[in-house]
């Protein structure tokens, strides 16, 4: 018998709903929130309000696209954390009421695990799925982790950032350059026209498999302060080289630790996930590593890299098969826990 799941993602600033049939996505609707653009980051109160406005239309649209009636659904899955509390509460409250009204199981999903499990969504263009055990570099706006994945729900963090996340490094350096939020995709765009070796930014010296990105942000800030003293148009005139150099530094920091993790664990099945895995430079670096080191590389489909409910749906599906259901007392959590 087929399994149909409605999934909801509302952990940060994207309201998304997806409908899944077994491992196949029938609909994946995302409403972005433009309201944060000129604040240099997500404003939590504005995000919760926008989720509240978007959630019903987004769910209606997903069911329409999927051509599924709500009475056909077997379960409702939702992101229970980590994320912004006010944002999470909107999705969680909707999912709880929906499951109660339809008398179908409720499934809670960890957002970071979902980024990784997005690799298991049925996709005719990418039929090869990661083999266990594999490593995953999960890089988003709030997290940077190297995970060892032994099974769908047996994951261990073996390295993580001690300060800023990789996505924050993109967004904060972009902000220093005067680019709107989120700066990651804009840096990616400008980097394509620049020289990645034009400016040398220092690399952190952090032991083990952990990362640090706060030093890069400070280096960029001081470097630009000095340049702007002599030339107020420095940023405008050197935008592409600046973006390419910042991007190159972030990717090198990430890849260095990922190579170390592969070496130490002896695992050469390596995936990337999360918003920063949409970055074209990181994607290229993974392909190059595949050619150089013989890794089996898994790069998510672009639309499943940044926040989306399709990844919540596939994770919900695996939990459904395990009959791993949540109850109505559950409350969202803001920080990652295994």
**Minimum CB distance to ligand KG4, residue 40 (Å):** 12
Q: Which region, judged by CB under 6 A, interacts with ligand KG4, from 16-24, 167-175, 207-215, 263-271?
A: 167-175
Q: Is 12 in the site for ligand KG4 (CB under 6 A)?
A: yes
Place of tokens 């670096």: 285
Q: Which region, judged by CB under 5 A, interacts with Zn ion, from 20-28, 97-105, 132-140, 289-297?
A: 132-140
Q: Is 278 in the site for ligand KG4 (CB under 6 A)?
A: yes
Binder of ligand KG4 out of 91, 105, 194, 275 (CB under 6 A):
275
Q: What is the DSSP string of 24-60?
A: EEEEEEEEE-GGGGGGTS--HHHHHHHHHHHHHHHHH
Q: Is 306 in the site for ligand KG4 (CB under 6 A)?
A: yes
The footprint of Zn ion on this chain (CB under 5 A) covers a number of residues equal to: 2
How far apart CA 142 and CA 32 sit, in angstroms, is 17
How far apart CA 103 and CA 75 sit, in angstroms, is 9
297 beta partners:
270
How far apart CA 246 and CA 258 sit, in angstroms, is 19
Q: Which region, judged by CB under 6 A, interacts with ligand KG4, from 97-105, 177-185, 207-215, 237-245?
A: 177-185
97 beta partners:
none
Binder of ligand KG4 out of 40, 44, 185, 204 (CB under 6 A):
185
**Minimum CB distance to ligand KG4, residue 87 (Å):** 11
Q: Is 307 in the site for ligand KG4 (CB under 6 A)?
A: yes
**Minimum CB distance to Zn ion, residue 154 (Å):** 21
Structure-block tokens of residue 334: 């803001």
Report the relative pairing of strands 144-151 and 154-160 from DSSP bridges.
Answer: antiparallel
**Minimum CB distance to ligand KG4, residue 138 (Å):** 9
**Minimum CB distance to ligand KG4, residue 34 (Å):** 14
Q: Are 184 and 142 in contact (CB under 8 A)?
A: no
Place of tokens 């890069």: 216
Q: Which region, judged by CB under 6 A, interacts with ligand KG4, from 144-152, 179-187, 200-208, 230-238?
A: 179-187
Q: Is 164 in the site for Zn ion (CB under 5 A)?
A: no
Q: Is 171 in the site for ligand KG4 (CB under 6 A)?
A: yes
DSSP structural state of residue 180: P
CB neighbour list of residue 1: distance below 8 Å, 6 or more residues apart? none
Q: Can you list the alpha helix ranges (DSSP code H) found in the chain?
A: 44-66, 85-102, 111-117, 166-176, 184-191, 214-230, 234-265, 280-293, 310-321
Binder of Zn ion out of 48, 170, 307, 319 (CB under 5 A):
307
State the number of CA atoms in the 13 A half-sphere of 70 facing the CB. Answer: 13
Binder of ligand KG4 out of 141, 215, 300, 316 (CB under 6 A):
141
Q: Which residues bind Zn ion (CB under 5 A)?
A: 140, 307
């Amino acid at each position: 018998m087929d399994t149909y799941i409605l999934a909801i993602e509302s952990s940060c600033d994207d309201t998304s709903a997806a409908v899944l049939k077994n491992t196949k996505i029938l609909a994946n609707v995302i409403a972005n929130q433009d309201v944060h653009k000129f604040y240099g980051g997500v404003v939590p109160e504005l995000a919760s309000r926008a989720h509240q406005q978007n959630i019903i239309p987004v769910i209606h649209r997903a069911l329409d696209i999927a051509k599924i009636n709500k009475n056909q659904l077997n379960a409702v899955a939702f992101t229970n954390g980590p994320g912004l509390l006010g944002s999470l509460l909107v999705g969680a409250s909707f999912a709880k009421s929906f499951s109660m009204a339809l008398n179908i199981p409720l499934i809670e999903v960890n957002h970071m695990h979902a980024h990784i499990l997005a690799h298991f969504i049925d996709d005719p263009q990418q039929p090869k799925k990661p083999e266990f055990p594999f490593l995953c570099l999960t890089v988003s706006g709030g997290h940077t982790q190297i995970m060892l994945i032994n099974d769908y729900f047996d994951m261990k963090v073996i390295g993580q950032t001690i300060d800023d996340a990789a996505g924050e490094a993109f967004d904060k350096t972009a902000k220093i350059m005067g680019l709107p939020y989120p700066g990651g995709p804009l840096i990616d765009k400008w980097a394509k026209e620049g020289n990645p070796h034009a400016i040398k930014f220092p690399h952190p010296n952090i032991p083990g498999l952990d990362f640090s990105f706060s030093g890069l942000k400070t280096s960029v800030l001081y470097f630009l302060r000095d340049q702007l003293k002599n030339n107020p148009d420095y940023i405008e005139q050197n935008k592409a080289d600046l973006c390419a150099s910042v991007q190159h530094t972030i990717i090198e920091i990430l890849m260095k630790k990922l190579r170390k993790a592969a070496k130490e664990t002896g695992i050469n099945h390596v995936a990337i996930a999360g918003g920063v895995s949409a970055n074209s430079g990181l994607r290229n670096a993974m392909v190059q590593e595949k050619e150089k080191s013989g890794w089996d590389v898994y790069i998510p489909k672009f639309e499943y890299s940044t926040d989306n409910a399709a990844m919540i749906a596939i994770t919900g599906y695996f939990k459904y098969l395990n009959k791993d259901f949540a109850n109505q007392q559950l409350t969202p959590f803001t920080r990652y826990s295994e």
